Chains A and B, each alone.
Chain A
Amino acid sequence: MAGLGDSLLMQQLPSLLVAVPLSFVPLLYFLEKVGVPARGAALAGMGLCLLLSFLPWVEGTELPISASPGGWGGLLGIELLLDGRARLFLPVISAGVFVSALFGTRWSQRWPLSFYTLVFLLFTGANGLLLTNDLFNAFVFVEIAGIATHALVAFRGDGDGLESAFKYLMAAAVGGILILWGIVLVFTATGTLWIPLAAERLADAPPVFVAGAAVLLASGIALKGGLVPMHAWKADGLAGAPSAVAALLSGPILTALFGFGLRILYGLFGGFPVMEGASAVTGGVEGSFGVLGSAGEVRELLRGMVFVVAVSSIVAGHVMALAQSRMKRMLAYSSIAHMGYIVVGVGAGGEAALAAALTHAITHAFMKVGWFFVCGELRRTRGTDRIAAARGAFREAPWLGGAAILFSMSLVGIPPAAGFGSKWVLVLESANAGAWGGAVAIAAGGALALPYYLRIVVRGFEPGRPRAATPVPWDSSESPSCPEPAAELAAELPEGAPPHDTTGALGVRAVAILVCAALILGGFAGYGLLFSEAFSVATELVGSVL
């Protein structure tokens, strides 16, 4: 691999990471016109993108890699910046999309071209969101990812999916507008959209302006990410989505959004000042939050707000998840809680806490993706994602049960799975930083979380099947109250499309689930690796801002 680091490929890697997934959008179309099946081509393309996303990890790569489409640089044009944070998250996004696409074979059977086109658009959006160093470009990518995602949610075309898609779209669109408002305020105050320059000029801006921009950007990201009190749409938005799409939404999209949030927080506002006691080498970070109040009380207010949001997300997420009878809704609420965990780590300040938050974001992506796959398998065999219907499912497919147990352990934070490590460090670090509420909430979160996962696992291992356990065609609606145009849809089914998927694709889905399981187990074994990387990345991130 000698010389790779200086090659054009590496220099332009950020552009390629956006352009290559995008180029598969027309490519798939034309390939299908000449008879190449979309699914194979799409999986090959995703494999290529996965390879690309690992390139920054090649020995000797010098980060950050900055590329600018058009070659104009950040001031005139758009800068894409591949820094340590992006290097950490890129493979997560790519792998998440790849396994989701593997798992989504069920969807690909009906409209393979549209499905994979939208997945590639989502992929583009997520990668771009992670890489871009330009405020408005970030808005464009967040909207592309959003459009692709809720389009996928609506894909099934039945009433429940549409309701979910509509709610999702309204929330995401309003979130996008809030982000755009924040961008406008920053632009008005600084005259640039390039984040580093804006951060520089923001230091001289009126504090009221900075406060408004910070609040609007934070609210927009929180609304898209689903933090209390902006979380209410999330379970509704995910409940009607196909499992593979829900996995895409909770894995890659949330990860990219978190990456974007970090760039805004650290790149634009200089990050939270490090709290007393947090292990930080760099000392206090003086960013634009310094404009807000030199006395420090505003910062403490900001931090207090962040902790309130985080702790209430944890509590509300877990409590609501306990109350659910459907798996997807339960998992969606659990995502809210886990976003709360991550925000605690971010708010605590300090490198170790930030690194813990980063690693938790990664592990959360994989364990949530894995759980959604399990949910999808259950829905395939049982025709519904009701928890009560899972009875006996794991008895029939013990490997699925094993994977479910593993994912649950990881989400709750029980030792042999990867989720434990990040949770452990989050508790230690947030306590270390004096964020008692956050530490206690994270520690207690597991106590709230275990029962609802255990409920499914136990139900799955119980003998017997639920009543009316015949697998139903995937496009029939479960809701008797909707006069569903199922017949209408069925009439449009292309010739030869099976009413519901046969066991032929089971192997692929099993591979998808087992990949996630292996990642989670391996994540624990390789925790030193993962964590030390995250740690150094966080150091670099904080250091590069200074």
Chain B
Amino acid sequence: MSVRLTAVVGTVAGSQPSGFWTHALEAPVLDWPGVFLAAVFLVYVAAAGLYLAGTQPRRTRGWWICAGVHAGGAVALPLAGDLLTFFILWELVTLGAVGVLWLEPGAPRMVRAYLPVQLVAAAALMGAIGMHVAAGGTLAITGEGLIGGAGLALLAVAIKAAVFPFHVWLVNTYPQSRPATAVWLSAFGTKVGVFALLRLLPDSGLELAGAIVAVVAVIYALSRRTLRGFLSFHIVSQVGFMIAGIAALSGAGVPGGVYHVGNHIVYKGLLFMVAAVLIERRGSENMYLLRQGESTASPKPAQRRDVLLLVAAAVGALSISGVPPFNGWVSKSLIKDAVEWPATYYLLIAGSAGTAASFTKFIWLGFVSSVVPDPLRRLSKRRSGRGRGKDSSAERAGSVEIAAGPEGSESAESAGSAGSAGSAGSAGSAVAEPAGRPGGDIARVGLVRGLAMGALSLLCLLMGLQPSWFLPPAAEEFEATVAAAVSGLWPVLLGVGFFFLLYGRCVPALERLPSGEGVARGAIAGFRRAIRAARELHNGDLRRQLGWAFAGLAAGWVLLLVFV
């Protein structure tokens, strides 16, 4: 059934309806992935809205409008029944995010990182749809995907979902915004991209690629120092899982992948909320300084609230790591069962292990100690590397500053945005910055924020314990057997073991990982140079202007005469 909007308009005009709308608007597609995802988005909108309501400073009306457009587009997009609506909603998601970022402190930098690539994605999507139509496809979303323009669609999806080589926009925006803003943004953009993969390219066969992304991104995540940089890379990694699931060829892959999308929205949102509270309370975003800040700035932390925060953080960490009763376990098991190639399977295991290791680090550094356990180093006692408990905080901060990769130095550039390693380091002390620093968020109503986090924690548990409520009935039932629990648990144990035994050893190597920033900078510089050259060509000389005109005329004429 298509909504014939023009029929009405056309009757008024007394003309035949044709063209633009008639074959464009289709009824919404109400299949399981769409409805499930829209529902999860909706629940998350409620939870994150609650969280933001408990946050100071209050967002302006313009901010809320942009955020609403962003989220609203994301909620409606899974239900889109035709490519036109799909594209419009995709644009709305992008534009809403741009608006939100513009209204953040330190906006120009973030928008510069965000906007150009997103525009390329939008253009690629438009081109892909054009090629699809040209190849004889209709605008309706049928579930068979595009029949033309797969390459362009893949580019659009890769950018929107922040698949590994195109992830730079993500790790340069979410960690730079205010903590509570990141809570709002983290849920929608990339998930829309993953969903587009399902809708546009269901037969992409990217199973292995997804798994590789999952592993590579987790390695980068392990190397991050800032809390939200760390979480952002985990988004990339989890997107790898989702892609592997959706692209997996056997039956349970798609439900697994989509379920993972939903789960990820919930637990990653929860983790960003925890991160926001931690940053606000500890006054620093450097993971190594979280405990330090607490001890000096607030000598007597409210223990009870900290315990609650720990519970929320633990739920999130356990979920994302795939520990049995939580939701990540269900979806990861589904995905692992669905993948075809052994290589993919073991890569996903490795990804899970890495996730577990990094979230052990998260819990450890956030709530237990500021020192990374490093048994090997403690044995040798030869080097006093960074992150050692005996160093003074100033020294550590200095070494953080020196060793800060691109991430750290950029944070230093954007002084005034949320607390960063660089600014703490350059201050020469690890004393927490005042809680009300510009650009930060502080709790207005702790209870409301607690409520939001509690709701998401419960949802994590519920989605893990009762997957059949959420999964489509037609899909293969997930069985919570002991075997499944074990298969979910052993990579986690592997990861935890890795963290306690080897992580301290690996940190220096990890932090030297190359980043994609150079490529982006080179591209921008090249573009600037091209523009400068173009300006040189247009030097305002009237004779040159006429000369080009005559040259064009002569060239065209000669060419024509040669052929005639």
Contacts and interface: CB of A to CB of B under 8 A. Distances in A.
A535 B19 contact: yes
Interface string A307-333: 001000000100110110000000000
Contacts of B526: none
Nearest to A355: B19
A319 B6 contact: no
Interface stretch (A94-102, A227-235, A469-477): A227-235
Contact of B92 (A233, A323, A415): A415
A431 B564 contact: no
Given A178-B553, A319-B530, A431-B131, A215 B115 contact: no
Contact of B123 (A174, A302, A415, A443): A443
The residue in A236, A352, A440 that gathers the most chain B C-beta atoms within 10 A of its C-beta is A440
A170 B542 contact: yes
A322 B531 contact: yes
Given A167-B542, A528-B19, A443 B127 contact: yes
A297 interface: yes
A211 B127 contact: no
B560 A298 contact: yes
Contact of B548 (A178, A230, A322): A230
Nearest to B107: A458
A458 B102 contact: yes
Mostly, the B contact residues are helix
B80 interface: no
A428 interface: yes
Contacts of B131: 431, 436, 439
The residue in B16, B122, B560 that gathers the most chain A C-beta atoms within 10 A of its C-beta is B560
Interface string B7-26: 00110111111111110000
B237 to A, nearest CB: 28
A528 B535 contact: no
A315 to B, nearest CB: 9
Contacts of B14: 59
A280 to B, nearest CB: 13
A293 interface: yes
Given A229-B551, A298-B564, A305-B556, A450 B115 contact: yes
B133 A431 contact: yes
Nearest to A300: B563
Contacts of A443: 123-124, 126-127, 130
Interface residues of A, number: 78
B556 A439 contact: no
Given A298-B564, A451-B116, A527 B538 contact: no
B126 to A, nearest CB: 4
Contacts of A293: 563-564
B69 to A, nearest CB: 10
B560 A211 contact: yes
B116 A236 contact: no
Interface string A208-230: 10011011101100110000111
Contacts of B115: 450-451, 454
A390 to B, nearest CB: 15
A427 interface: yes
Given A229-B549, A298-B563, A447 B534 contact: no
Contacts of A355: 19
A191 interface: no
Contacts of B134: 277, 428, 431-434, 439
A447 B155 CA distance: 14
Interface in B1-43: 5-6, 9-10, 12-22
A533 to B, nearest CB: 6
A460 interface: no
B12 A323 contact: no
A211 B546 contact: no
Contacts of B122: 446-447
A425 B19 contact: yes
A4 interface: no
B557 A215 contact: yes
Mostly, the A contact residues are helix
B201 to A, nearest CB: 18
Contacts of A532: 6, 9-10, 13, 15-20
B548 A528 contact: no
Contacts of A218: 556
A424 B84 contact: yes
A76 interface: no
Contacts of A533: 13, 15
Interface string B121-151: 0111011011101100000000000000000
A215 B545 contact: no
B95 interface: yes
A210 to B, nearest CB: 8
Contacts of A421: 20
B426 to A, nearest CB: 28
Contacts of B88: 415, 420
A230 B549 contact: yes
Given A215-B560, A528-B6, A535-B18, A232 B545 contact: yes
A430 interface: yes
A444 interface: yes
B544 interface: yes
A301 interface: yes
A38 to B, nearest CB: 34
B552 A229 contact: yes
B18 to A, nearest CB: 5
A425 B560 contact: no
A539 to B, nearest CB: 9
Contacts of A446: 119, 122-123, 126
Given A223-B549, A451-B116, A428 B133 contact: yes
Contacts of B6: 528-529, 532
A301 B559 contact: yes
A423 to B, nearest CB: 8
Contacts of A5: none
B129 to A, nearest CB: 7
Contacts of B91: 414-415
B561 interface: yes
A425 B20 contact: yes
The residue in B19, B131, B559 that gathers the most chain A C-beta atoms within 10 A of its C-beta is B19
14 contacts: A208-B561, A228-B552, A230-B549, A232-B549, A293-B564, A298-B560, A309-B552, A323-B532, A414-B95, A447-B122, A526-B9, A529-B12, A531-B19, A535-B18
Given A230-B552, A323-B535, A528-B5, 17 more contacts: A59-B14, A170-B542, A211-B557, A215-B553, A292-B564, A415-B91, A420-B88, A431-B127, A443-B130, A444-B123, A446-B126, A447-B122, A454-B115, A528-B17, A529-B10, A532-B20, A536-B15
Interface of B: 5-6, 9-10, 12-22, 84, 87-88, 91-92, 95, 98, 102, 115-116, 119-120, 122-124, 126-127, 129-131, 133-134, 530-532, 534-535, 538, 540, 542, 544-546, 548-549, 551-553, 556-557, 559-561, 563-564
Interface of A: 59, 166-167, 170-171, 174-175, 178, 207-208, 211-212, 214-216, 218-219, 222-223, 228-230, 232-233, 235-236, 277, 292-293, 297-298, 301-302, 305, 309, 316, 319-320, 322-323, 352, 355, 414-415, 420-421, 424-425, 427-428, 430-434, 436, 439-440, 443-448, 450-451, 454, 458, 526-529, 531-536
